[in-house]
């Protein structure tokens, strides 16, 4: 919101939002001046299901793009929740995708320390890609008109159904599926500057980065919140700002159960429950990003934030 003057609308997949986060969204919308809408779609009974919550979330990111959004929505832009935006995303809304149904940022290949972890450079992926780049699913834009015209949703679901018969396939479902289908459904490759993450990208690239993503690092396993504070000066500023908003809401609505959320910067927004109803929650570990707008029940919730566009972002 800090980097655009265009109207912004967020689309949230309600399946994965906690009650406390759903209650907080209207306050955020009023404070920052954006529109929003909750959408949902029931996983079809005929489509092979996923059992792990994270993989279900990944499935929703790619398998149902043609049916999640109203027909009048022309484009949506997906942005990961652990991502900092430093530019106006209207450039993606206006970008000519050359007839492709979607555009993704490519994986970086210029950090030598993690060269041995670049699975896309060897074996099956090297042969499958045939010189094409492997793309990351942390940032992408979908031209829904083209997507529906070429029946991309049907093709993705059919390909998913075939590949998912092998439990060892589609390890990164939301990335592997569109990358594997590039020969059928082309991906428009965004400029590398659109997404930088320390794990795969050189330090030099950070200066020109339009967005910064907190990719997991297989070498250091550094917690994401710690990395965010180390790499991104504005992270704490945003975090404290949202925490202050939550505190104001709580102070102004005493006695209103809908406002009872924790507000400390750097922590999760959670429902307050009576002491005798509290339960111990599973620790998400190093992979869990905790901030003022993430919580355990909906820790994938803002991983489904999508910015929809017609004449707006």
Domain ranges in the chain are 9-232+295-309
List CB contacts of 190: < 8 A, sequence separation 6 or more.
92, 103, 104, 105, 106, 139
Tell me the per-residue pLDDT of 28-49, one tens digit each, with 9 for 90 and over: 999 999 999 999 999 999 999 9
Range 259-287 average pLDDT: 40
Residue 36 · residue 12 · CB < 8 Å: yes
* Predicted local confidence at residue 253, as pLDDT: 75
* Predicted local confidence at residue 251, as pLDDT: 85
Q: Does 297 have pLDDT greater than 50? A: no
Tell me the per-residue pLDDT of 98-156, one tens digit each, with 9 for 90 and over: 999 999 999 999 999 999 999 999 999 999 999 999 999 999 999 999 999 999 999 99
Measured in degrees and rounded to the nearest 5, phi and psi for residue 248 equal -65, -40
Tell me the per-residue pLDDT of 55-92, one tens digit each, with 9 for 90 and over: 999 999 999 999 999 999 999 999 998 899 999 999 99
Correct CATH for 9-232+295-309 of 3.40.50, 3.90.550, 3.40.190, 3.30.1240: 3.90.550
**Structure-block tokens of residue 310:** 């017609």
* Predicted local confidence at residue 89, as pLDDT: 96
* Predicted local confidence at residue 2, as pLDDT: 79
94-98, 191-195, 284-288: least confidently modelled range: 284-288
Lookup result for tokens 């400390």: 264
Q: Across the chain, what does the average pLDDT equal?
A: 85
Q: Does 25 have pLDDT greater than 80? A: yes
Higher per-residue confidence, 217 vs 3 = 217
* Predicted local confidence at residue 254, as pLDDT: 62
Tell me the per-residue pLDDT of 238-268, one tens digit each, with 9 for 90 and over: 999 999 999 999 888 764 544 444 444 444 4
- Rounded to a whole number, what is the distance in angstroms from the first to the last CA of the chain? 10
Measured in degrees and rounded to the nearest 5, phi and psi for residue 282 equal -65, 135
Q: Does 174 have pLDDT greater than 50? A: yes
SS (H, E, C) the chain: CCCCCCCCEEEEEHHHCCHHHHHHHHHHHHHHCCEEEEECCCCCCCCCCCCCHHHHHHHHHHCCHHHHCCCCCCEEEEECCCEEECCCCHHHHHCCCCCCCEEEEECCCCCHHHHHHCHHHCHHHHHHHCCCCCEEEEEEEEEHHHHHHCCHHHHHHHHHHHHCCCCCCCCCHHHHHHHHCCCCCCEEECCHHHCECCCCCCHHHHHHCCEEECCCCCCCCCCHHHHHHHHCHHHHHHHHHHHHHHHHHHHHCCCCHHHCECCCCCCCCCECCCHHHCCCCCCCHHHCCCCCCCCCCCCCHHHHCEEEECCCC
* Predicted local confidence at residue 3, as pLDDT: 85
* Predicted local confidence at residue 95, as pLDDT: 98
């Amino acid at each position: 919101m800090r980097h655009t003057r265009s109207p912004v609308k967020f689309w949230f997949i309600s399946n994965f939002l906690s009650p406390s986060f759903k209650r907080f969204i209207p306050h955020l919308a009023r404070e920052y001046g954006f529109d929003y809408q909750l959408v949902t779609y029931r996983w079809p009974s005929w489509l092979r299901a996923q059992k792990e919550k994270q993989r279900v979330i990944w499935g929703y990111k790619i398998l149902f793009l043609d049916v999640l959004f109203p027909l009048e929505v022309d484009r949506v832009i997906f942005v990961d929740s652990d991502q900092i935006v430093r530019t106006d995303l209207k450039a993606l809304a206006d970008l000519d995708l050359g007839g492709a149904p979607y555009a993704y940022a490519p994986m970086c290949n210029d950090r030598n320390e993690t060269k041995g972890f670049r699975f896309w450079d060897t074996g099956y992926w090297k042969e499958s890609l045939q010189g094409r780049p492997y793309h990351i699913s942390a940032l992408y834009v979908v031209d829904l008109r083209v997507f529906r015209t070429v029946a991309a949703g049907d093709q993705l679901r059919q390909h998913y159904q075939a590949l998912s018969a092998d439990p060892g396939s589609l390890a990164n479902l939301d990335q592997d599926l569109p990358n594997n289908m590039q020969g059928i459904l082309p991906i428009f490759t965004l400029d590398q500057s659109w997404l930088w993450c320390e794990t795969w990208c050189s330090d030099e690239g950070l200066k020109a980065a339009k967005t910064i993503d907190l990719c997991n690092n297989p070498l250091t396993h550094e917690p994401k919140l710690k990395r965010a504070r180390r790499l991104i000066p504005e992270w704490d500023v945003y975090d404290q700002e949202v925490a202050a908003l939550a505190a104001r809401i709580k102070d102004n609505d005493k006695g209103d159960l809908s406002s009872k959320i924790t507000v400390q910067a750097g922590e999760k927004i959670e429902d307050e429950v009576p002491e005798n109803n509290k339960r111990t929650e599973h620790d998400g570990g190093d992979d869990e990003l905790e901030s003022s707008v993430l919580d355990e029940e909906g820790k994938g919730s803002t991983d489904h934030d999508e910015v929809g566009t017609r004449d707006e972002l």
